[in-house]
Amino acid sequence: MSYLFTSESVSEGHPDKIADQISDAILDNFLAFDPHSKVACETLVTTGQVVLAGEIKSDTYIDVQKVVREVITKIGYTKSEYMFEANSCGVLSALHEQSSDINQGVDRGALEEQGAGDQGMMFGYATNETDNYMPLALDISHRLLRELANIRRENKEVTWLRPDAKAQVTLEYSDDHTPQRIVTIVVSTQHDEDVTNDDIKRAIKEVLIPRVKAQLPSHVQELFNDDIQYHINPTGKFVIGGPHGDAGLTGRKIIVDTYGGKGAHGGGAFSGKDPSKVDRSAAYAARHIARNMVAAGVADQMLVQVSYAIGVVEPTGVFVDTYGSAKVNMTDGEIAKKVTELFDLRPGLIEKNLKLRQPIYSETAAYGHMGRAAQVIKKKFERPDSGQTEVKELEVELFTWEKEDRVDDIKSAFNL
Is 213 a known active-site residue?
Answer: no
14 labelled ligand-binding: yes
314 labelled ligand-binding: no
- 3-state SS, 68-118, equals HHHHHHHHCCCCHHHCCCCCCCEEEEEEEECCHHHHHHHCCCCHHHCCECC
Rounded-to-integer distance, Cα 20 and Cα 270, Å: 8
- Which pLDDT tens digit goes with each residue over 326-347? 999 999 999 999 999 999 999 9
| Lowest-confidence region among 88-97, 114-123, 184-193 | 114-123
- Which pLDDT tens digit goes with each residue over 240-267? 999 999 999 999 999 999 999 999 999 9
Is 55 a known active-site residue?
Answer: yes
Mean pLDDT of all residues in 281-297: 98
Sign, CA dihedral 324-328-331-336, equals negative
Of the residues 53, 247, 295, 309, which is catalytic?
Answer: 247
Cβ atoms of residues 284 and 277 within 8 Å:
no
Is 74 a known active-site residue?
Answer: no
Answer yes or no: is pLDDT of 107 > 80.
Answer: no
- 3-state SS, 182-214, equals EEEEEEEEEECCCCCHHHHHHHHHHHHHHHHHH
253 labelled ligand-binding: yes
Rounded-to-integer distance, Cα 340 and Cα 288, Å: 13
Q: What is the pLDDT of residue 100?
A: 60
Is 279 a known active-site residue?
Answer: yes
Cβ atoms of residues 209 and 221 within 8 Å:
no
- Which pLDDT tens digit goes with each residue over 117-155? 889 999 999 999 999 999 999 999 999 999 999 999 999
Percent of the chain topping pLDDT 70:
97
| Burial 270-299, CB ≥16 within 10 A → b, else e | bbbbbbbbbbbbbbbbbbbbbbbbbbbebb
Rounded-to-integer distance, Cα 224 and Cα 208, Å: 13
Answer yes or no: is pLDDT of 104 > 60.
Answer: no
* All structural domains of the chain: 3-10+136-242 (3.30.300.10), 120-128+253-372+398-413 (3.30.300.10)
Of the residues 253, 265, 280, 406, which is catalytic?
Answer: 253
Answer yes or no: is pLDDT of 171 > 70.
Answer: yes
42 labelled ligand-binding: yes
Is 332 a known active-site residue?
Answer: no
273 labelled ligand-binding: yes
Q: What is the pTM of this model?
A: 0.96
Is 363 a known active-site residue?
Answer: no
Helix (H, G, I), strand (E, B) or coil at 156: coil
Q: What is the pLDDT of residue 110?
A: 77
Q: Find the helix or strand (DSSP H, E) in which 302 lies.
A: strand 301-308
- Gap between the terminal Cα atoms of the chain: 32
Q: What is the pLDDT of residue 117?
A: 83
Q: At what angle do helices 64-75 and 15-33 cross, to 10 degrees?
A: 130
Is 277 a known active-site residue?
Answer: yes
Cβ atoms of residues 169 and 137 within 8 Å:
yes
Is 379 a known active-site residue?
Answer: no
Q: What is the pLDDT of residue 115?
A: 84
Is 238 a known active-site residue?
Answer: yes
pLDDT band at 397 (very low <50, low <70, confident <90, very high): very high
252 labelled ligand-binding: yes
- Which pLDDT tens digit goes with each residue over 6-60? 999 999 999 999 999 999 999 999 999 999 999 999 999 999 999 999 999 999 9
